[in-house]
Amino acid sequence: MRQLLIICLSLVTLFLVSCTAEMEPEPKQHVESLLNKGEYIPDIGTFLQIGACSPAGYTWDGKTVFFRSSMSGASQIYRITEEGWPYQLTTFDDGIDFFSLSWDGTMAIVGASTGGSEQSQLFLMDTETGRVLQLTSVEDVQYGSVTWAPDSKSIFFRSNEENKKDFFLYRLDIATGYYKKIFGDVDNGVTGYNAIADVSSDGSHMLIYNYTSNVNNDLYLLDLNSLEYQKITEDDNDVIYDSPTLMPDDKTIWLTCNNNKDGITRLAKMTVGSPDVEFIDDGWLEQKWEVDGLSFSRDYKYMSAVTNEDGYAKLHIRDVKSGQRLPSPPLEGIQGMASFDRNGSCILSFSSATFAPEVWQWTPASGTLRQLTFSIYAGIDRKIFREPQLVHYKSFDGLEIPAFLYLPSDYKKGEKIPFIIHAHGGPEGQTRPYFVRNIQYLMLNGYGVLAPNPRGSAGYGREYLNLDNYKNRKHSLMDYKAGVEWLIDNGYTKQGMLGIRGGSYGGYVVLGMITEYPDLFSAACDVVGIANFKTFLENTRSYRRALRESEYGPLSDPDFLREISPIHKANVIKTPLLVIHGENDPRVPVDEARQIIRAVRRNGGAIDSLIFPDEGHGASKRVNVIAEYRKQVDFFNKYLKPNKISGKR
């Protein structure tokens, strides 16, 4: 009887297992089923742990690559050699600000600051061991624009240590640590924002940028032996001269410039002694695209340029002597500038909306492409990421505005979903189809995102760039409003399902939109934004003030600054507002956040905030970045998805 019972139980068990096996799909099919149903949604904190790597330096022998990554939780420098495994070189608590490799590759200058202050100090680093020696330690002073002399015995840099306002240029001897000023003079008017553009191959001359605004600069040529200098550009408009390279003849300068009839930044040449700019149209680069940058290999054998093609970026390479076009890397998305070795190979950055930034090696002669860095995806399958659509819509005056439209994978035409308008900073910035972790997360959670490039954005020529200056400030806000109307008219969303967010100048856009159009949005997030242009200009760092006044309007016009400042219309704010800021922000002081928080609270509005005590102009530490975006997600869910189950992210 007992044996019979055991046999019966065994048969039942086999039957149940058999049924289960027939009912349950194979593991791979089950995972794909979940993906197709949109149920595979990792937490926002997991998304923000997806890595990113960017090139920092390349030795001339091609054996060592240096790159930046935040894989440790803050931006640090790593080294890759022929062994292949990355070696971490820096361990600064708050990460690094910049890295400049010596010509011989044995040393580097690292710039690092604390708590988001941006007051970068200089450190000399041994690139083999990572040991550092602090070279500067002056409180409330910013050092930068570091460039090595070709003999690797000295460096050049800029500093505002003389009066905390003007950036002058200095030369520092590596052996002694002694440095002296080589360019800049208050008495002779060579003041403002100076930066190093190029040093000649023999170390005898330096090209210098002198900026009077974000859309205007001039070039100077400095004799590094006599310290005599001459201004080599002359124009009557707002003109940007960029990426200049002084060729070995010490006469020819290759550069990019927008001083032409359509204001498009193009490839050009100059000759020392004449301010004339010769634009080059030899078929290498398409003339309709802006040129983002230009560079040469150390031996001047190869020239590379990156074109900005409606926000996407393509690297172009050619042989200088023959003019022959060389193959571009077969990568579709955002390609970065190239850095060459002596053998003709180069390293570059690449990313796309669905591919995290990585460092690649490209050899045009053989067509060999190799990925050098491999960032973690935190266990997230890249197949769930979505590319945006490039769209255009008409603004109030008929101007066509480009924008990137992000839609969930399961979006059905005509379906109305919650949408977030993303406002970029600058204001001369440009929204581009980079890999943006939190946008991918939002799409997976059923949100759409529209990221416009309103008038005033870079990448579309000088005229478009200048359309929002000074008195035209609110015209760019009207471009955002037109974007919202385009979404509604095309059936993507409706009133009550709209949010807006932006950082820095984009934070001002957020505050401007909810005061100019108080009934338009149901949730708004201001990150390190400007609330009061008068107090912003008074309290921003003195070295930034002149450049900002040229964009927003001068302190000598207080009535206009008051008229465009959201703080003076805070009483009309109906939109629930989240304000995020860093206590140590040197660009937009934290009082801008506190002013708008007090005003909304005083008027009984819905207000929430997150002020980081150890950050500056935007969160950089991973733990803070996760806290910020978790707060954003919860905030938008609360007001744009009121029926969403609390806590499910």
- DSSP assignment, residue 460? S
Q: 242 versus 190: which is more confidently predicted?
A: 242
55-77 confidence digits (pLDDT tens): 999 999 999 999 999 988 899 99
Q: pLDDT confidence of 320, banded at 50, 70, 90?
A: very high
- With respect to residue 260, please indicate whether it lies within any of the assigned structural domains: no
All residues at 6 or more sequence positions from 193 whose CB lies less than 8 Å from its CB, including other chains? 166, 167, 209, 210, 211, 212, 543, 546, 547
How much is the pLDDT for 26?
58
How much is the pLDDT for 480?
98
- With respect to residue 24, please indicate whether it lies within any of the assigned structural domains: no
How much is the pLDDT for 130?
95
Q: pLDDT confidence of 6, banded at 50, 70, 90?
A: very low
How much is the pLDDT for 31?
53
- Name the β-bridge partners of 196: 208
Range 426-452 average pLDDT? 94
321: left (phi over 0), alpha (psi -120 to 50) or beta: alpha
How much is the pLDDT for 354?
96
- With respect to residue 104, please indicate whether it lies within any of the assigned structural domains: no
- With respect to residue 119, please indicate whether it lies within any of the assigned structural domains: no
Instruction: Determine the structural domain holding residue 526 and report its residue range.
Output: 391-640
Helix (H) or strand (E) holding 623: helix 622-640
102-156 confidence digits (pLDDT tens): 999 999 999 999 998 889 999 999 999 999 999 999 988 999 999 999 999 999 9
- With respect to residue 619, please indicate whether it lies within any of the assigned structural domains: yes
Give the C-alpha distances (Å, rounded to integers) separating 449 from 85, 249, 262, 389, 438. 38, 51, 31, 11, 11
Range 339-359 average pLDDT? 97
Q: Is the pLDDT of residue 454 over 80?
A: yes
Q: Is the pLDDT of residue 202 over 70?
A: yes
- With respect to residue 504, please indicate whether it lies within any of the assigned structural domains: yes
Q: pLDDT confidence of 33, banded at 50, 70, 90?
A: low
How much is the pLDDT for 41?
77
409-429 confidence digits (pLDDT tens): 999 999 999 999 999 998 889
How much is the pLDDT for 550?
74
Helix (H) or strand (E) holding 546: helix 542-552
> Do the Cβ atoms of 75 and 356 come closer than 8 Å?
no
Q: Is the pLDDT of residue 9 over 50?
A: no
265-290 confidence digits (pLDDT tens): 999 999 999 999 999 999 999 999 99
Range 282-302 average pLDDT? 96
- Name the β-bridge partners of 153: none
Range 178-195 average pLDDT? 88
Q: What is the CATH number of the domain that holds 628?
A: 3.40.50.1820
Q: Is the pLDDT of residue 645 over 80?
A: no
The whole-chain average pLDDT of the chain stands at: 91
> Do the Cβ atoms of 76 and 88 come closer than 8 Å?
yes
Rg of the chain's alpha carbons, rounded to an integer?
27
Q: Is the pLDDT of residue 39 over 80?
A: no
- Name the β-bridge partners of 159: 143, 168
- Name the β-bridge partners of 295: 304
Alpha helices (H) in 375-472, listed in sequence order:
437-444, 462-465
- With respect to residue 217, please indicate whether it lies within any of the assigned structural domains: no
The amino acid occupying position 189 is: G
The amino acid occupying position 570 is: A
How much is the pLDDT for 644?
57
All residues at 6 or more sequence positions from 396 whose CB lies less than 8 Å from its CB, including other chains? 475, 478, 479, 481, 482
Separation of alpha carbons 410 and 38, rounded Å: 8
The amino acid occupying position 429 is: G
How much is the pLDDT for 646?
39
- Counting the structural domains of the chain, the total is 1
Range 254-268 average pLDDT? 95
Lowest average pLDDT, out of 42-46, 120-124, 502-506, goes to 42-46
Q: Is the pLDDT of residue 32 over 80?
A: no
Token pair listed for 266 = 């193009």
What percent of the chain is modeled with pLDDT above 90? 80
How much is the pLDDT for 30?
58
- The 10 Å Cβ neighbour count of residue 33 is 12
* 3-state secondary structure (DSSP) of residue 633: helix
Q: Is the pTM of this model over 0.95?
A: no
Q: 621 versus 246: which is more confidently predicted?
A: 246
- With respect to residue 147, please indicate whether it lies within any of the assigned structural domains: no
How much is the pLDDT for 237?
87
Separation of alpha carbons 590 and 578, rounded Å: 14
Range 503-527 average pLDDT? 97
